[in-house]
Structure 1
Amino acid sequence: MNQLTETAARGGGSSPAPDLSPRKGIRAWAASRRWYLALAAVAVCYSAVQLMVTIRVGLGWDESIYVSQVTPGIPPAWFSAPRARGVPLLVAPVTVFTSSVIAIRVYLSLLSGLGLFLAYAPWVRLRPGAAVPAAAALFAGLWTTLFYGSEAMPNIWVAFCAVGGVALFCQTKRKGALAGLAIAFAIASLVRPTDASWLALPLVVYGLATRRFRQIGAVVAGLAVGWGEWLVEAALSYGGPLTRLSAAGAKNEAGLHFSLGEHLRALDGPVLCRFGHPCGDIPLGHVAWFAAIPVLAAVGLWAVRKPARRRPLLIATASGTALALSYIVTIGYAAPRFLLPAYALLALPVACGLASVARVRIGRVLVAAAMLAFFVLQGSTLLQRVDIEGAARQPDSLAAEALRGLGISRPCFLYGHAAIQVGYLSGCGMVGITTNYGGYHLPSPIDAALVRGDWVGVLSNRKDTPAGFLASWRRVPLITTATEQWYLYRPPSALAPESPRHR
């Protein structure tokens, strides 16, 4: 020991002391986790764009139904057969405190950023390198992913669960992987049971072929949570599981279809190609990136030589393809959000395909140009869609404000055009009507509200009286928009309302 001390004092033969400065420790920590940090940066940017762009878009029809289920003081809207309780549970932590639409948007924007990170983080172990953050960026860059990140709708959350679930399915030796796998499919099945089942199908088939019974058990246990809740509710509220399944199928136009053309036309919106909202022409710019998905995914799968690394990508591809085919061949209409889980999974082999192309100089130039074009196209479509949807939903808040000016009081009940959205904003019971307001007989929901003594109003955007029973009701102009006039109908027994505020 003394000899070593003397040698060190003379400076002979000793190794330099290690640098234990905090700065070097931070650099080493960051270097060992650089791909997680890159993924976190993508997630932060994803939430930030939502907070800047989508935060002021009002609630849509479906969102208002979901949110009304868990907002204290607001009567829940009718929960139709195809819906599941996952989305109301998702927004409950904020709606229990406030019904503010801005608060809901901020909460979901932040939560979806966290969801994006948690979904792709397990893939960093399977695919070390830039491919995982690149895949997350590709998925997060879609206008549909950005638009629906802050929307109280199910598909984006199924997408996150699918990506994380597939990764955990492929990491059997990782501590907690089975529990995480079960949780991922439990959340997905609570949000959208049918989507979760289609995504699970390739995993179960592969698990049976390779005798991975523990993973199969975790997937089935997760599915049982959502399907169990759905079936119990079917027995209690919908006349039984078969009756509910039949009603859900009729509502969703389920059956044998080939709706690829509708999905192509829906790539740039509107948000729903149904109920008199045609999707219009096929957008060639969007079709270009859509067509590139299978090509780049195939290149990515071919470029990964090692079977152990290719297998998770194959499973992800199979799961995403199963989900996409389920909508294309079994549902008779389209919406851009339907294919979000497929895009989220296929982004992984696509990112590997882009990395393979970028290995040569000309490939790097092509990839850079293609990515620039992709993000510009998606960003411009997002801004356009936010403007359109924001303008379409703004009259709902104006109508709610006008109703307050007319002296609306709780308990109240609204029926008719946009009654779901306006009812939520006004704290009223509601039944939304798109076309058929009824005939000369008073609809039973209105009759029940009058018997209860509720403040009752019927909303319409038609110049003519939409139903015979309204002929004796008082009609008052409610709001005026750039394209239409809304009217409020009040029962004959109601006191004449005050002069409304025109918008």
Structure 2
Amino acid sequence: MASRRWHLTLAAVAVCYSTIQLLVTVRVGLGWDESIYVSQVTPGIPPAWFSAPRARGVPLLVAPVTMFTSSVTVIRVYLSLLSGLGLFLAYLPWVRLRPGAAVPAAAALFAGLWTALFYGGEAMPNIWVAFCAVGGAGLFCMAKRKGALVGVALAFALASLVRPTDASWLALPLVAYGLVTRRFRAAVAVVAGLAVGWGEWLVEAALNYHGPFARLAAAGAKNEAGLHFSLGEHLRALDGPVLCRFGHPCGDFPLAHVAWFAAIPVLTAVGLWAIRKPARRRPLLIATASGTALALSYIFTIGYAAPRFLLPVYALLSLPVACGLASVARVRIGRVLVAVAMIAFFALQGGTLLQRAEIEGAAREPDRLAAEALRGLGITTPCFLYGHAAIQVGYLTGCGMRGITTNYGGYELPRQIDAALVRKEWVGVISNRRDTPAGFLASWHRVPLITTGDQRWYLYRPPSAR
């Protein structure tokens, strides 16, 4: 009966998680990366260029809905509901490992993060790696139970299909523990799961990227991989923007967010110390080691930050953190402190979520307006868009696309545009600059596309266009 109660409590947390997403983030348009992922599996929309660091897991996740519709709202609803299910399944094994309120509380702590809420409905990889990491680690600790090893393999297969490097860092402590303690079957299950994602990645590297070493080099250059120390960047990114790169600095340190971030290692240590029995502490140590491995990989090997990068770390460490809070709450003054801290935490995260959803929604609204304006200007398919927000607008209009952030080219016609003109497609170049962004556009027809606030977008059409 008690076990059933905590299962129902966890389910209630998952329902609340999906509900908040449906209320807050469902109207936010697709971002650049999302449009690339979703275009891969949407019939009638030419797939955008899939760069070397990306993996095919996210397109696979959205494929069941994009097979039938390209509607952004439907995609958001589908992912919001699916992420609620993912949250429930991820923490479900831990209800057996840690009977009591700690596991639903851990799920609530993770689900209450603005990043977990914002990215639950986004076609982005990190939240799904987080779910796989928590579920995979829990099943790994239950390896002697029937079916657990199959679950471990499935969890790491999905994680590696979504983001193979993250999955590998998360798996490293589990495999090492399995080898040291002679739990070979559990270690093999993890490696078998990783082999699925890495196998797909290697095949695609051979087919599209001139081999695995060339793809690794290209991915490393794209992600600023190397020896770094980016903890400061991650701290500044705690309240957004969603990417601290490409001219979007994260600004100053948000002290309130830094406070809860700093509390994570402290409460993790308290939670681990409070559990006296080694057998009961062991699963939490494994989860902590897995999350720490991924955190260190981002802090020391990636030269920039985004709030979503550490989502799997927060998901795994939520388990010992919840135990740490329970330990503090055993005394009366501790209960008061925990209650106040939780109210402050959820208020801060909720306020940040509303702020980021409003900012991102406003930032992506011009993409929808530009798509409507292009239809008004008589765009026909097949078509090709080049330039500012071309990825997002291309998805919304069903056009081939090449997104440009700064360098539009020189006086020579870019090969992508030349190829589209040879195919006799409808071609347009989108710019948000008042001046002509490239020499080859000097002879093209320029017409106003949209005006939103202080932004003015222009459409350039070839000299031969009527």
Task: Report the secondary structure of 1:458's partner residue.
Answer: strand
Q: Is the aligned partner of 1:346 residue 2:317?
A: yes
Task: Report the secondary structure of 1:122's partner residue.
Answer: helix
Determine the structure 1 residue equivalent to 2:181: 210
Structure 2 segments unaligned to the other structure (5+ residues): none
CA contact (8 A) 2:245 2:304 kept: yes
Task: Report the secondary structure of 2:227's partner residue.
Answer: coil
| Cα deviation digits, residues 238-275 of structure 1 (max 9, x gap) | 00000000000000000000000000000000000000
Task: Report the secondary structure of 1:407's partner residue.
Answer: coil
CA contact (8 A) 2:272 2:284 kept: yes
Q: Is the aligned partner of 1:247 residue 2:218?
A: yes
Q: Give the counterpart letter for 1:357 in structure 2.
A: V
Question: How far apart are the structure 1 equivalents of 2:298 and 2:402?
Answer: 28
Q: Is the aligned partner of 1:198 residue 2:169?
A: yes
Matches within 5 A, 1:42-441: 42-441=13-412
After TM superposition, the runs of 4+ consecutive aligned structure 1 residues lying more than 2 A away are none
CA contact (8 A) 2:3 2:95 kept: no
Query: What is the TM-score normalised by the length of structure 2?
Result: 1.00
| Cα deviation digits, residues 148-179 of structure 1 (max 9, x gap) | 00000000000000000000111122110000
Task: Report the secondary structure of 1:478's partner residue.
Answer: strand
Question: How far apart are the structure 2 equivalents of 1:185 and 1:339?
Answer: 17
1:69 Cα deviation after fit: 0.1
Task: Report the secondary structure of 2:454's partner residue.
Answer: coil
Question: How far apart are the structure 2 equivalents of 1:382 and 1:414?
Answer: 32
Question: How far apart are the structure 1 equivalents of 2:183 and 2:434?
Answer: 63
1:208 Cα deviation after fit: 1.1
Question: How far apart are the structure 1 equivalents of 2:184 and 2:27?
Answer: 47
Matches within 5 A, 1:452-491: 452-491=423-462
1:32 Cα deviation after fit: 4.3
Q: Give the counterpart letter for 2:94 in structure 1.
A: W
Task: Report the secondary structure of 1:123's partner residue.
Answer: helix
Determine the structure 2 residue equivalent to 1:3: none
1:96 Cα deviation after fit: 0.2
Q: Is the aligned partner of 1:34 residue 2:5?
A: yes
Q: Is the aligned partner of 1:450 residue 2:429?
A: no
Alignment length (residue pairs)? 466
Question: How far apart are the structure 1 equivalents of 2:53 and 2:61?
Answer: 17
Q: Give the counterpart letter for 1:412 in structure 2.
A: C
Structure 1 segments unaligned to the other structure (5+ residues): 1-27, 496-503
1:197 Cα deviation after fit: 0.1
Question: How far apart are the structure 2 equivalents of 1:138 and 1:442?
Answer: 52
Q: Give the counterpart letter for 1:284 in structure 2.
A: L
Task: Report the secondary structure of 1:430's partner residue.
Answer: strand
1:53 Cα deviation after fit: 0.2
Task: Report the secondary structure of 2:448's partner residue.
Answer: strand
Q: Give the counterpart letter for 2:273 in structure 1.
A: W
Percent sequence identity is: 86
| Cα deviation digits, residues 471-490 of structure 1 (max 9, x gap) | 00000000001021000000
1:57 Cα deviation after fit: 0.1
Q: Give the counterpart letter for 2:341 in structure 1.
A: A
Task: Report the secondary structure of 2:436's partner residue.
Answer: coil
Q: Give the counterpart letter for 2:264 in structure 1.
A: I
Q: Give the counterpart letter for 1:478 in structure 2.
A: L
Question: How far apart are the structure 1 equivalents of 2:409 and 2:280?
Answer: 60
| Cα deviation digits, residues 388-412 of structure 1 (max 9, x gap) | 0000000000000000000000000
Task: Report the secondary structure of 1:79's partner residue.
Answer: coil
Task: Report the secondary structure of 1:477's partner residue.
Answer: strand
Question: How far apart are the structure 2 equivalents of 1:82 and 1:76?
Answer: 16
1:205 Cα deviation after fit: 0.9
Task: Report the secondary structure of 1:41's partner residue.
Answer: helix
Q: Give the counterpart letter for 1:406 in structure 2.
A: L
Question: How far apart are the structure 2 equivalents of 1:116 and 1:420?
Answer: 30
Task: Report the secondary structure of 1:33's partner residue.
Answer: helix
Determine the structure 2 residue equivalent to 1:11: none
Query: What is the TM-score normalised by the length of structure 1?
Result: 0.92
Question: How far apart are the structure 2 equivalents of 1:279 and 1:200?
Answer: 30
Task: Report the secondary structure of 2:265's partner residue.
Answer: helix
Q: Give the counterpart letter for 1:166 in structure 2.
A: A
Question: How far apart are the structure 2 equivalents of 1:172 and 1:179?
Answer: 9
CA RMSD of aligned residues (A): 0.5
Question: How far apart are the structure 1 equivalents of 2:107 and 2:352?
Answer: 19
Question: How far apart are the structure 2 equivalents of 1:311 and 1:167?
Answer: 11
Determine the structure 2 residue equivalent to 1:18: none
Question: How far apart are the structure 2 equivalents of 1:403 and 1:174?
Answer: 58
